[in-house]
Structures are given as C-alpha cells and as structure tokens.
Amino acid sequence: MTGKIQTGKKKFLIVSLLIFAIAALMAGCVEKANVEQTSAPEVKEELKGEIKMDGSTTVYPIALQASKVFMKDHPGVTFDLRQSSTGEGLVRFLAGETNISDATRPPKDGEYNIAKNKGMILHMTLIAYDGVVVIVHSSNPVSDLTIDQIKGIYFNGSITDWSQLTNGAKKGKINIYNTDPKISGTAELFNKVITGNDETPYVSGTTKIHPTPLNIPTIMNDPNGIAYTPINWVNSSVKMLKLSGIMPSRSTILDTSYPLARKMFMITNGPPQGLTKEYINFILSRDGQRIVEEEGFIPII
C-alpha cells in the first residue's frame, strides 16, 4: 500500500513539473510576442534648419526649384535663397553670411587666399554642365563667328560694322552688350576663352547688362546687337550662333568641343555636412538631376 502511494506521488510530481515547464515556456513566448508588438520602429529624425544661399544667377533656377521640392519633403527646413553673381556670392560666403555659394567658375586665387586666412576650405560640388552662347537678332544673316572675329568685335575694335561679316548683306554699327567679368562667371569664361585672359578690357562704347538673362530681351529688340548668355536662357526670340563652326549642344558641351562649355558648382566650407549635405545630395540624386534638365541644363548623371 505504501509503495503505491509513493509511485502516485512520483507521477504527480512529474506531471506537475511538466505543467510548470510548459507554462513557463508559454509565458516566455507571450513575453517575447509582447516585446515584438510594443517595440516601435526606429524613426529617422526629421530635418530642421535654414540654408542660406547666394551667387550665380545661372545656377539660381536649379537651386530655387530644388529648394521647393526639398521643403515639401522636409517641412522643417527653410531657405534664404538669393541671386547676384558668382563673385558677389563668394563675397557673402567668405563673410560667413551663407552656407552655399552658387558658382559657374572655380574660385580665384584671391578668394582661396581669403578663405585660407579665415580658416575656411572652399569645396566645389559639381551639379551640372552648361554652355555660354553668342546671340544676335533673329533677322541677322550671320550664323557662325570665329573666336578671332568675336575678339575683333569685343576686344580690339577691328570689327565695328555688320557689313564686315556679311559681305554687305547687312549693314549697321554693331551694338555690343557685355557683363562685368569681375563678378560674373559667364563674362569671365567668355573673356578668358576669347582672349586668353579674363581681365582683358572690352572696347569702349559697350553696354553693360546684368544679370545676363536680360540680354535675351535686349537682343530681341536690337537688330544690330550682339551679346552672350548661358544657353538655358535662349529661346526662339533670338538667334544662337555657332562658334568656329561648332554649334552649342548637349554633346558638344559634354565633350568640350564647344569652346564655351563650362561646369556649374555649389561651393561649401569643406565637404558638405548636415543639412547642407542632405540638400546637395538631393540635387545630385536622380530627382534632383531631373530638375537640372528641366531648367535647361545638362545633368551629370
């Protein structure tokens, strides 16, 4: 009788241990399930802050449209976005007034020296390709000019009348429009390519136009005018000329066979960081480069 009772107790003990083990296992599963259900996914911190920009009027349309999309995606971000010229933008940037300086040329030696003295590092990020084109009135029979002919018009004064370029098909004093190369990246490129020196002075009697987009309506209303401007501003209201037989186009700008091809930059103090990096990375993305193309420029990807 005693032996049977002991056997029963053993069975009861074994069953109890099994029930306890199962309960513990189930509790562990429930606890794990609860942890998995209550653990929140990692949330990336929303971007906040202000980006201040100034510089090239040519880069401005890209910067503006990209900023609109960027702010829509990141409501906590604002922009203080202005346009002046590459040179004027760098003055503000070197004074610490902006985060990004839009440019159509690399910084000059003097600008690098100012940056060095201030403990700054001028870092250029390529965002697009562009070309500067020579334009005349749509009625002008001229379709192609050599670099020497443009030099004769703008710099040494050897060509002053359209009859010298058209065998008499068109007559009249050539009205010359230009931009200041001391501040304009567009003018600096034009002067350097045509004369070999960006500081070469223009002939007397030229008319200074700034910013360069204003050259389009100016030439549209002047049958005897000639000017230069970034290719993205050009429309059917004016005539774009070949330069030494080469028409400015996507392919001739990319392979640099067109003499006035150039690059467009956003300049920062060292490699872009933080909010500035996020914005420039957006411009370099496929969506950002789509904006570049929509604004009439050549994307880098």
- Please report the pLDDT score of residue 51 as a whole number: 98
In a domain, 10, yes or no: no
My answer on whether 268 and 119 are in the same domain is: yes
Rg (CA), the chain: 33
- Please report the pLDDT score of residue 44 as a whole number: 61
My answer on whether 196 and 117 are in the same domain is: no
DSSP E strand boundaries for 56-172: 77-81, 100-103, 122-137, 144-145
Triad 252, 258, 259: Cα angle to 5°: 160
My answer on whether 168 and 54 are in the same domain is: no
- Please report the pLDDT score of residue 301 as a whole number: 87
Domain that holds residue 76: 49-128+262-294
How many domains would you assign to the chain?
2
My answer on whether 197 and 169 are in the same domain is: yes
My answer on whether 88 and 109 are in the same domain is: yes
Instruction: Label the pairing between strands 242-243 and 144-145.
Output: parallel
Environment class of residue 250 by beta-carbon count within 10 Å: exposed (0-12), middle (13-18) or buried (19+)? middle
Looking at residue 142, the DSSP 8-state letter turns out to be: -
My answer on whether 253 and 152 are in the same domain is: yes
Environment class of residue 135 by beta-carbon count within 10 Å: exposed (0-12), middle (13-18) or buried (19+)? buried
In a domain, 1, yes or no: no
- Please report the pLDDT score of residue 45 as a whole number: 77
In a domain, 90, yes or no: yes
* Cα separation, 80 vs 183, whole angstroms: 21
Tokens coding 216: 């389009």
* Cα separation, 132 vs 261, whole angstroms: 7
My answer on whether 96 and 158 are in the same domain is: no
My answer on whether 134 and 243 are in the same domain is: yes
Triad 153, 155, 158: Cα angle to 5°: 50
My answer on whether 254 and 272 are in the same domain is: no
In a domain, 175, yes or no: yes
CATH code at position 60: 3.40.190.10
In a domain, 206, yes or no: yes
Q: Which of 91, 85, 83 is nearest to 105 (CA)?
A: 85
My answer on whether 140 and 81 are in the same domain is: no
Tokens coding 195: 């004369």
My answer on whether 200 and 226 are in the same domain is: yes
Per-residue pLDDT tens, the chain, 301 aa: give them.
Answer: 444 434 444 444 444 444 444 444 444 433 433 334 445 555 567 999 999 999 999 999 999 999 999 999 999 999 999 999 999 999 999 999 999 999 999 999 999 999 999 999 999 999 999 999 999 999 999 999 999 999 999 999 999 999 999 999 999 999 999 999 989 999 999 999 999 999 999 999 999 999 888 999 999 999 999 999 999 999 999 999 999 999 999 999 999 999 999 999 999 999 999 999 999 999 999 999 999 999 999 999 8
At 9, the amino acid letter reads: K
